[in-house]
Amino acid sequence: MSQDPTAENETDAEDRNDGDTSGAVAPRPAKHQRRLLLFAIAGTILATDLLTKILAVANIEPGRPVWLIGDLVSLRLVRNPGAAFSMATGMTWLLTLVAVGVVVGVVRIGRTLRSPWWALGLGLVLGGALGNLVDRFFRAPGVMQGHVVDFVSVGWWPVFNVADSAIVCGAILLVVLTLVGLEPDGTRKGEEK
């Protein structure tokens, strides 16, 4: 069976040209660049979250807040068995499964990603989900039941961490992108792909 070396798979051509049909080959496919951006953002958030949690556990005594800005902003160490705002505290294992589902979903969407804005939003959500998953799997009291380390307190807002901030900011960005009709593949809603 012989194969024509000049023939190419339609998907390969699209990846190389990023949908450009002029015949010019892009130096690096946009889809791969967006995926790289997604994982770079997620990795940065994960590393920052892990580092700040390690520092918080090592330097903040439980029950003894460190005041940074008057009585508005402080660092206080809290072990959170629940979700945001300490909801569902008896459902830690379920929250872990939901977070795993979020990670899988983001990675799957990342395969079709061409929009840098979606890469940013999904990268924030992925990095935050992974940061809190590390706590769920490796912190006490045990696997899939670990308590998340929270340490930033601002006014009346519940105590949070870098991962929580990234998830919230990423989710807000994704909602805005959806509302303005920008799709993960870079097209606008109603445009021909």
Catalytic residues: 150, 164
Asked whether 153 and 76 are in contact (CB, 8 A), the reply is: yes
Quote the pLDDT of residue 170.
96
Residue for token digits 């068995």? Answer: 81
pLDDT class of 18 with cuts at 50, 70, 90: very low
Quote the pLDDT of residue 6.
43
Which has the closest alpha carbon to 119: 51, 174, 187, 44? 174
Q: What's the pTM?
A: 0.79
Reply yes or no on whether the pLDDT at 24 is more than 70. Answer: no
Among 11-20, 35-44, 96-105, 167-176, the range scoring the smallest mean pLDDT is 11-20
Reply yes or no on whether the pLDDT at 49 is more than 60. Answer: yes
Strand (E) positions, the chain? 66-69, 73-80, 148-154
- d(CA 187, CA 144) in angstroms, rounded, equals 38
The pair of structure tokens assigned to 66 is 């460190």
Reply yes or no on whether the pLDDT at 118 is more than 80. Answer: yes
Reply yes or no on whether the pLDDT at 166 is more than 70. Answer: yes
Question: Percent of the chain having pLDDT more than 70?
Answer: 78
Quote the pLDDT of residue 59.
97
